[in-house]
Chains A and B, each alone.
Chain A
Amino acid sequence: MPVHHLEETFQQTVDAEIKIEAKDWMPEAYRKTNLRQISQHAHSEVVGMLPEGNWITRAPSLKRKAILIAKVQDEAGHGLYLYSAAETLGMSRDQMIADLHSGKAKYSSIFNYPTLTWADMGAIGWLVDGAAILNQVMLCRTSYGPYARAMVRICKEESFHQRQGFEALLVLSKGTQEQRAMCQDAINRWWWPSLMMFGPRDSESTNSDQSMKWKIKRKTNDELRQNFVDMIAQQVKLLGMTLPDPDLKWNEARGHYDFGEINWDEFWNVVKGNGPCNRQRLQARINAHEEGAWVREAAVAYAQKQSAKQKKVA
């Protein structure tokens, strides 16, 4: 069948809301876009363990420590679901990890910010996971089957992440003067980077957007960002805290909150590797990989030995 026929059939399948599966024919650009997006999403989950891992030993109580360990373990799991989904598109796990370590593949810039106080654990759960959930809920309906299934699994687990974060802040917000100040400070530092998570403005794009046409994405960056602002602007009131944006205001005519301009120079600077923790995060991943090499090798040697033993018996 000529390629343009295949492409037509492919688009009809997508338009009919039928999922594309790993072995189905797909345009090369669809495969590459999905591969890049899913692998970067996987990297984000894995690197995302680092800022929170920083606080596991310093959590203020056994309860908070158990919660934080469970959350970080979930993130490792989410990374694994996503790597598996990406592998169905024909790239090996090792290659993906090599691309992360070389800097070729990106991960979400939010994880290049430091976690300075315990309140950051709350702010990350509430704001960072809150922003991620909006994106992930949309991705549950993405057109590539393995990605969509991974996202359904992730979304089921993610809700606890946001709730525990908000609850941790709620406790601080009812605490001492210092605890309240710590809570507000964390919100101040995480608010703008959270808004940046949705990516550049829609106006920086062409009209015909291939990702939307292929239903890889179903909402634009600005739509998702607006949903997020509307949600958080309400929730922050329950904490008795404020968001660090003097332009944040309910707009009756639009039915949405207006908000101030994001510092895009900062956004691109962090993407390009110059955020507060870029080098530290990547180095931590590389170290973990290199220092774990002997474990992987030992496991292979053990498996081979066991298998040889079994053959002998048989």
Chain B
Amino acid sequence: MQCSIRKFYYGDIPEEQGGGAAPSESMNEHGWPLWEVFIRSKQGLDHKHAGSLHAADARMAIENARDVYTRRQEGISIWVVESKNIHASDPGDAESLFEPAADKIYRHPTFYDLPDEVKHM
């Protein structure tokens, strides 16, 4: 006999098992846009993507980023960019974009055999 009991995990209670009301109609959007946060962890290093958050404007985004992403001295500088202004390459194009670099081993210094006498080059 086919038995189809679904398994679920911590933090993953299936909807049909729960009590509560029926799904409500969608709430009004509060109108705070999404921002991407970049943090420079110390002087001399690049800003690195840390995550995202919602905020009404850039100043609030920086203040919130301070509280959300740097509670343990993770940063000394913050950039925020509204997520809608980030343009990304399409994962579907990854092959055509990045494949051509794969067979150009002559771009790497180790491709060249030089006599030992040359020492450092």
Contact = CB atoms under 8 A, between A and B. Distances in A.
A205 B23 CA distance: 27
B67 A273 contact: no
Contact of A211 (B9, B28, B67, B72): B9
Interface string B1-25: 0011111111111110111111110
Given A84-B51, A272-B19, A108 B10 contact: yes
Contacts of B54: 93
B71 A104 contact: no
Interface in A195-247: 197-200, 202, 204-206, 209, 211, 217, 221, 224
B26 A102 contact: no
B17 to A, nearest CB: 6
A204 B56 CA distance: 46
Given A37-B11, A300-B56, A97 B6 contact: no
Nearest to B94: A24
B104 interface: no
Interface in A265-283: 268, 271-274
Given A77-B71, A205-B6, A95 B15 contact: no
Given A21-B91, A211-B7, A104 B20 contact: yes
Nearest to A92: B29
A252 interface: no
Contacts of A40: 11-13
Interface size class of chain B, counting residues whose CB lies under 8 Å from the partner chain:
35 or more
B121 interface: no
Contacts of A109: 13
A87 B56 contact: no
A161 interface: no
B76 interface: no
Chain A, interface SS category: helix
Contacts of A189: none
Nearest to B17: A271
A303 to B, nearest CB: 4
A205 B5 contact: yes
Interface in A78-122: 80-81, 84, 87, 92-95, 97-99, 101-109
Contacts of A199: 8-10, 12
A89 to B, nearest CB: 13
A313 interface: no
Contacts of B27: 94-95, 97-98
Given A21-B91, A206-B3, A307-B57, A36 B15 contact: yes
Contacts of A107: 11
B89 to A, nearest CB: 9
A93 B9 CA distance: 23
B12 A36 contact: yes
A287 interface: no
B19 A306 contact: no
Identify the interface centre among B6, B7, B12, B32: most chain A CB within 10 Å of its CB.
B7
B68 interface: yes
A306 B21 contact: no
Given A104-B18, A104-B21, A300-B30, A74 B71 contact: yes
Contacts of A106: 13, 15, 18
Given A300-B30, A300-B56, A81 B10 contact: no
A98 B10 contact: no
Nearest to A23: B91
A168 B18 CA distance: 34
9 contacts: A74-B71, A92-B29, A98-B24, A102-B22, A103-B19, A157-B71, A202-B7, A221-B9, A296-B56
